[in-house]
Amino acid sequence: MRRRNLLMELQARTCRPELLTDVAQHVVTGNRLLGRLPEKEMVRLMPLFERIELTPRQILHHRNFPMQHIYFVECGLVSVMAKTSHREWVEVWLIGSDGMTGIPIVLGDTHPAHRRVVQIGGSALRISTQVFRHLLQVSEPLRGILLNYVDVVLLQTSQSGACNAQHTVKQRLARWLLLARDVLGSSLMPVPHEMLGRLIGVRRATITDCLNEFEACAAVRTARRLIEITDAQLLESLSCDCYHIIKHERLRLLGW
């Protein structure tokens, strides 16, 4: 009932633009996809979202289950995980303040095959899948932004697959850290070595060896459960071209 009332309010604001004036000053979001919406469109849509806390290891969506909610991350880091065996999962892409969890819904899927897990806590704007589907139909600006985002994610996942097949673990780890920094908006990441190993698909000891090499040349600094990129340009030189390819397409399609 509450969602239905909000949808009715959305329609009313569309018909009466003067209602937007008082609200516009209070609409703030850390999500860069929603931040690209025209101001009036954002004001119309924001009442349909609720801000929630994200906690580490929180599962936002289980594989092969209906997706009840869509999350537009404002801060924190969410991994989309693919199942590779009975007990093994590998990350296929990252979601930070540059993204959202609902790509399968944008593409018409009802039971997405991947799991979405919070790796670094933060906050997100949550919206029900039912309302989100309605917005895709009535909001052309939102639909256009999200289709560009889908394009970026398709590029990122295909490029990451090529990277995993052709490049060393050290290059892949450097790429992951740089991409994580970009979507987090921070060079300081509370990511333990064991978790990085699971995400990249290698042993924890291998991650530790690579990070020790990065630290020895002053590209990163590590502490217990923390990694800080201290020289991004140097870390880029230790990565492969895949990072720059992904970054270029994201800039071209989304503007950051």
- pLDDT tens column, 174-225: 999 999 999 888 899 988 898 888 888 899 999 999 999 999 999 999 988 8
d(CA 170, CA 195): 16
Phi-psi label, residue 89: left if phi above 0, alpha if psi -120 to 50, beta otherwise: beta
pLDDT (average), residues 147-156:
94
SS3 state at 87: coil
- pLDDT tens column, 112-141: 999 999 999 999 999 999 999 999 999 999
209 with 197: CB under 8 angstroms?
no
CB neighbourhood size of 207 (10 A)? 25
- Size of the chain, expressed as the number of residues it contains: 256
150 with 250: CB under 8 angstroms?
no
Q: What is the pTM of this model?
A: 0.84
Q: Is 173 exposed, middle or buried (0-12, 13-18, 19+ CB in 10 A)?
A: buried
Q: What domains appear along the chain, each with residue ranges and CATH number? A: 2-159 (2.60.120.10), 168-239 (1.10.10.10)
d(CA 171, CA 164): 9
- Sheet of 220-223, strands arranged across: 188-189, 226-229, 220-223
